[in-house]
Amino acid sequence: MALAVTVLSLAAMGLQYSLVETRMMAAQTKLLSADLDGFAALYDQRRIIALRQAIDYRATAATGDEMLLLLDRNGSVLAGTQQAWPAGLSTEGDGFAVEPAREFRAGSSRWLAVARELPGGFPLLVARSLQPVDDTLAAMRRGMWGLLAAMLVAGGLVGWLAARSVMRRIGRVNDLADRVAEGALNARLPGVRSPDEFGLLETHVHAMLDRIQNLNLATHRLSDTIAHELRTPLNRMLQKLGRIEGQEALTADLKAEMRQAIRMFDSLLDISRAEADQGTGGGLTPVELSTVATEVWELYEPVAEEKGLVCTATIAPVLSVLGDRNLIAQMLANLLDNAIKYCSKGDELALTLTEDGDRHLMRVADTGPGLPEAIRGEAFERFVRAERDRGVKGHGLGLALVRAIAARHGARLTMPETKRGFVLEIHWPRLQQSG
């Protein structure tokens, strides 16, 4: 903006400059022409003699801004303001017309000169100094540069002030967004809104945050209500089951069914909770991933060994993440439980945890039946189960929960192709060490 104004002003000044230059040059040419007309009239009357007298007379009152010189045919000075013919200047034509005129340099100034050889071989020089023109133009140029600099400074200053005010107000909104992203859903901007677009933006952002906060609260309240309304009647049923005698096998079956149903609802609620909390750092604390992995592995390893699996764990020590220990344990338990469930005697099961660049790589690999190609793309969706696993106990929420917990921690899941079995890699963002 400031630049455009500057360029426009510069163009206007440039136009004015060239106009002034043309006008001043025209004025000098006119003066020269008037001089020449005078000399022509004298020459008409008495030729060289009159010219010589006139030039002599003019030379005594020389002001320095004109140059007159008349030579004889041998090149000696007859009359003039100069001692010698200027070097490099040759005569052209023989009349007193102002054209052709020529510019030349003598000393530090420019001159506009008419050099003729009058009949009989008398060179005549009539020239006017262009110094006044050059002085005026130089003054104009200085003025223009000054003005340009002033405009640039002023433009920059105005721009900086405007930008600073805009940036400060955008910065306020950005700070708010940062605080919300860190989990403070109740953060709001203090003070009154200004009656402009920024005020409107803040009002919109606040309205959006209110809505997010309400939805989040409703999600949490709903999961509490579902839990309460589901578990209270189940609890009464369980108490009544306890009073039935003589049908142990049946009651044990019913209890197992209830436990499965509760596990399924818990998984669903855990998934939606983890998804609702995704991206907020709230509630996460530094957790030593290596320790959790070791603990959960030690819990499941004997189970896998009993089933005849070949187990190996390679867990690098002291790798930490920002996380929820309980969720991480639940996730790993799900993966190991799945692997043990689907593998058969002789299959291999391996857990590795290593440092991998700026991430920690957790890898659970087995040589079991793996995922059927048909559900590979949607294995992490809720309630997706392979047709062949209908007979295996489960509800198809295990991997969905794994994905939700990974997302809650900002961890990335990859499923590398393997010849045999199932491999899942979890890339955990490493804990930023502070101090």
In the complex, minimum distance from the CB of residue 2 to other proteins, in angstroms, rounded to a whole number: 57
| Planar angle of CA 49, 50, 55, nearest 5 degrees | 100
Which of residues 177 and 237 has its CB atom nearest to other proteins in the complex? 237
In the complex, minimum distance from the CB of residue 284 to other proteins, in angstroms, rounded to a whole number: 12
In the complex, minimum distance from the CB of residue 311 to other proteins, in angstroms, rounded to a whole number: 13
Torsion of CA 152, 155, 156, 157, to 10 degrees: 120
In the complex, minimum distance from the CB of residue 195 to other proteins, in angstroms, rounded to a whole number: 42
Length of the chain in terms of residues written: 435
Is the Cβ–Cβ distance between 58 and 68 less than 8 Å?
Answer: yes
The upper half-sphere exposure of residue 240, i.e. CA atoms within 13 Å in the direction of its Cβ, equals 7
Which of residues 300 and 428 has its CB atom nearest to other proteins in the complex? 300
Closest CA to 350 of 323, 388, 315, 394: 315
Q: How many helices (H) and strands (E) does the chain have?
A: 7, 12
In the complex, minimum distance from the CB of residue 340 to other proteins, in angstroms, rounded to a whole number: 8
The upper half-sphere exposure of residue 421, i.e. CA atoms within 13 Å in the direction of its Cβ, equals 18
Which of residues 99 and 295 has its CB atom nearest to other proteins in the complex? 295
Which of residues 186 and 260 has its CB atom nearest to other proteins in the complex? 260
Which of residues 35 and 270 has its CB atom nearest to other proteins in the complex? 270
Is the Cβ–Cβ distance between 411 and 427 less than 8 Å?
Answer: yes
In the complex, minimum distance from the CB of residue 236 to other proteins, in angstroms, rounded to a whole number: 5
Q: How far is CA 315 from the centre of its chain?
A: 40
Element of type H or E holding 1:
none
**For binding to other proteins (CB under 8 A), which residues are involved?**
224, 227-228, 230-232, 234-239, 242, 248, 252, 255, 258-260, 262-263, 266, 269-270, 273, 295-296, 298-300, 302-303, 306, 324, 326-327, 329-330, 333, 337, 340-341
Which of residues 21 and 337 has its CB atom nearest to other proteins in the complex? 337
Across 279-294, b (16+ Cβ under 10 Å) vs e yields ebeeebeebbbbebbb
Which of residues 42 and 284 has its CB atom nearest to other proteins in the complex? 284
In the complex, minimum distance from the CB of residue 418 to other proteins, in angstroms, rounded to a whole number: 25
